[in-house]
Structure 1
Amino acid sequence: MLLGSLQRPLQPPPDGLDLWPDPFEWSNYTAVARFMPLARLLLNSLLLVVVAVPVTVVVTSMAGLAIVTARGRARRWLVGISVLMLLIPAAALWVPRVVLLRGLGLADTPLTVALLALAGTTPFYVLLFALAYSRIPASLLEAATLEGLSPYAVWRQVALPLARPAVVAVAALSGLFYWSTFMDPLTLVSSPANWPVALGLRSLSEMEAALYPIYLAAAVIVTAPALVAFCIGQRSFFSAVERG
């Protein structure tokens, strides 16, 4: 992708394999802004991630604690429902989401996709937190309750600090999801000015083959922040594991 982004556009196909650009066409990166409003779309995606990731972490961590602190049959039912919801194909939810959000007047805004975080984004994150909380001694949670702590205080002061690796993992995974998703914005956001950058990048994929170096330059720009965030998240995850 990087080498392809440095090829000269509007050139005939090479004879044979031509991977190394000669010369490097750095102007492809500045040309991206002529084909898509790059700065605005990057800002939309950044706003989406900043809002959706904390909401996802809060909702899924609370739901995971509710599963772990449930008793007997209720706990099994909650786990079963979460697994069942995880098995539902994403395509089956597209139409109901569009109908619901349009009915509420919440469609076609830069933060429309962030509303998915109110449902935890995916049940997988809930199960991930439930697994992390299940490793906390039940007596510790019960002792916190006996000391008079409310369920919210138990979550914030006891459970969440002891599940730092899960917090980092869910934050990193949800951040990458909201940065790279384009199917949800494609169905929920119709105005190009409100698109996240991944959807704008998808629109460039329809360019003619001779302009593909510019498309690949846009792909490098979009991928770089996600790659940096993943590396930071990976390092934070292992640091949290070591501290835990």
Structure 2
Amino acid sequence: MLSRLPGRRRRLALSAMHRLVVAAVALLFLLPLIWAVSTSLRETGVPARAIEWIPSPVAWENYPAVFALIDVRRFALNSLFVAALAVPITIFVASTAGFAIAHVSQRWRSRLIAVSILCLMVPLTAIWLPRFILFKEAGLINQRIALVVPALMGTSPLYVLLFAWAFLRVPREVFEAARLDGAGPYRVWAEIGLPLARPVTVAVAVLSFVHYWNSFVEPLLLIRTADAMTASLGLRVLYALDRTNWPLMMAGAMLLTAPVIILFLLAQRAFQQDVRGRGVLGE
């Protein structure tokens, strides 16, 4: 049917369909967040008979109640401490590893990519126990720094592969020209590679921040005292205080989710500006 339309109208129709599909998918992902906000504003102690998108009356007092019951500031600062250390380390390790993969011979590159994919297939549940034993022997149990240690390995092989893909898309002549000017490998990586891989750097920064901010099982295994608990464990404490008070739980969840939402919006804006200004990596 669309093929019968003139070229301009067909492009407009396809663009409209594309926008509708994107809007529908976005709404699908936003519905749980909207429901959480709505539930956080519902009165406590009154079970809802159905989903209330706009609760009546609106109970703003749920948010101050969260601050009264748990130390939101301390939990958030602990998570921020972990993320503030882990994200830069992750970017450094993953980008240097990806840069190395992109500049070795084709034979070794294929092997390193295969090893990275194999490591990516290992479930996290398989390494929790060995990691716990290792950290216990190293005296890192109940230390916030233990939550940062995975960043020393780039956090995830996925991030290494993303950087390798980004550097491979940059024409080799660009790097060769820098080497002819006397730049060493580190300078080429820092002054040429990273600026051209900015979209991937932003994506890895956001993904790793979300990973460390939302991490639950590792803090649960490694952290024992309230002073070192992260935001996710703070929600567990709130849940233990009243397991049936869902409006209060959702209020706490929204408070501790807000930094992630703000970071995502800022990163999305920076990413779009970079892509519009320079196009796809290396182009």
Aligned to 1:168: 202
Question: Runs of 4 or more off by more than 3 Å in structure 1?
Answer: 205-210
* Structure 2 counterpart of 1:37, from 71, 85, 97: 71
Cα pair distance change 1:96/1:209, threshold 3 Å: closer
Aligned to 2:43: 8
Post-superposition offset of 1:82: 0.6
SS in 1 for 2:189: helix
| Residues 198-209 of structure 1: pairs in structure 2 closer than 5 A | 198-209=232-243
Q: Is 1:144 equivalent to 2:174 in the alignment?
A: no
Which letter maps to 2:50? Answer: L
- TM-score, with length taken from structure 2: 0.81
Q: Is 1:93 equivalent to 2:127 in the alignment?
A: yes
Aligned to 1:159: 193
Which whole-Å deviations, capped at 9, do the CAs of 1:144-171 have from their partners, x for residues lacking one? 2233222111111111111111111111
Aligned to 2:151: 117
**Partners in 2 of 1:107 and 1:240 — Cα distance?**
41
**Partners in 1 of 2:69 and 2:153 — Cα distance?**
35
How many pairs does the alignment contain? 242
**Partners in 2 of 1:198 and 1:217 — Cα distance?**
13
* Structure 2 counterpart of 1:64, from 60, 77, 98: 98
SS in 1 for 2:261: helix
Which whole-Å deviations, capped at 9, do the CAs of 1:81-116 have from their partners, x for residues lacking one? 111100000111111111222222223122321111
SS in 1 for 2:245: helix
Post-superposition offset of 1:239: 1.5
Gaps of 5+ in 1: none
* Structure 2 counterpart of 1:17, from 41, 46, 50: 50
Which letter maps to 1:134? Answer: L
Post-superposition offset of 1:18: 5.7
Post-superposition offset of 1:66: 0.4
Q: Is 1:218 equivalent to 2:252 in the alignment?
A: yes
* Residues 47 and 111 in structure 1, CA contact (< 8 A), matched pair in contact too: no
* Residues 164 and 241 in structure 1, CA contact (< 8 A), matched pair in contact too: no
**Partners in 1 of 2:168 and 2:184 — Cα distance?**
19
**Partners in 2 of 1:18 and 1:162 — Cα distance?**
47
Q: What is the percentage of aligned positions where both structures have the same residue?
A: 40
* Residues 181 and 199 in structure 1, CA contact (< 8 A), matched pair in contact too: no
Post-superposition offset of 1:141: 1.5
Aligned to 1:183: 217
Aligned to 1:73: 107
Post-superposition offset of 1:135: 0.7
Which letter maps to 1:153? Answer: R
**Partners in 2 of 1:104 and 1:208 — Cα distance?**
36
Aligned to 1:196: 230
- TM-score, with length taken from structure 1: 0.93
| Residues 219-238 of structure 1: pairs in structure 2 closer than 5 A | 219-238=253-272
Aligned to 2:161: 127
**Partners in 1 of 2:251 and 2:257 — Cα distance?**
10
**Partners in 2 of 1:241 and 1:53 — Cα distance?**
22
The root-mean-square deviation of aligned C-alpha atoms, in Å, is 1.6
Gaps of 5+ in 2: 1-35, 279-283
Post-superposition offset of 1:202: 3.0
Q: Which moved more, 1:20-29 or 1:35-44?
A: 20-29
